[in-house]
Amino acid sequence: MRCSLAAAVLAVAASGCATPTWKDHLVGAAMPTDKVLLVGSFVTVPAITQRGVHTPTGPTYTGSGWEPEGRVVFVGKMAGNAAALFTADLAEPWRSEAMSSPLSTYEWAWFPMGGYFFVEVPRRGRIFLRGIAYVTDGGRSTIEIPAAVDIAPDDRVVYVGELRLVRTGDRRTLYNDKLPEARKAAEAAGHGNLLAARWRTSLFKPVDATRTAERR
């Protein structure tokens, strides 16, 4: 299922678009034979604050109470998670204008803010991470993080590293190899059965999405 970004990260439950296209691997579930598990972590410095974000207009009184600033309602896993947006290639340029979709066709998964993800993805030679989207009391935010990860035909578990987004000063994204910590986190999260499978490290690699899109 694919839907607009605005629906994906700001949807009400009834919209049906709040379900990620790429699912989390369930604790205790068997290893999928037709998919690959991406394991990694997502960290922002400083950490993203979702509650208590102020906007010029302030909260809105509806008669039955105060709505959060920006009238944002957290649905499902929106609290504490960011929507990681993926595409099959870099043909379409990223657009981050307010309330518009940065990409018309994409797939997405939840990345815990400050935690580990265990996501089932299709068997493709290369997967492109285009950016992340998240909500706060003040509304929706998107950050472009063009990167790619290579997947081999026989991969079972691919460790993509720690994706560390530094949001102040010299803004940058770091891709760190912390495999021992990731394996410990998997066991602590109840994914001990994954440790019996072969893990291969294939860190996210930054790509120049702008130049690639211009060439097409």
- At 171, list the tokens: 């803004």
Q: Which CATH superfamily includes the segment(s) 5-12+34-215? A: Immunoglobulins (2.60.40.10)
Check: CB of residue 172 under 8 Å from CB of residue 132: no
- Residue 187's H or E segment, with its range, is helix 179-188
- At 108, list the tokens: 């997405």
Distance CA 180, CA 154 (A): 22
Burial readout 176-201 (b: 16 or more C-beta within 10 A, e: otherwise): eeeeeebbebbeeeebeebeeeebee
The confidence score (pLDDT) of residue 34 equals 92
| Strand, coil or helix: 27 | coil
Q: Residue 15: is its pLDDT beyond 60?
A: no
Within 10 Å of residue 98's Cβ, how many Cβ atoms? 9
Q: What is the DSSP string of 109-153?
A: EEEETTEEEEEEEE--SEEEEEEEEEEETTEEEEEEEEEEEE--T
Report which DSSP code applies to 193: G
Q: How far is CA 111 from CA 60, 117, 127, in A?
A: 30, 6, 16
Name the residue ranges covered by the structural domains of the chain: 5-12+34-215
Q: Residue 131: is its pLDDT beyond 80?
A: yes
Choice between 136 and 117, residue whose per-residue pLDDT is larger: 117
Which tens digit of pLDDT belongs to each residue from 138-152?
A: 778 889 999 999 999
Lowest mean pLDDT across 3-12, 103-112, 169-178:
3-12
Within 10 Å of residue 160's Cβ, how many Cβ atoms? 25
Cα of 168 vs its chain's centroid, Å: 20
| Whole-prediction pTM | 0.83
Q: Looking at this protein, which amino acid is placed at residue 189?
A: A
Which tens digit of pLDDT belongs to each residue from 170-215?
A: 889 999 999 999 999 999 999 999 999 999 999 999 998 775 544 4
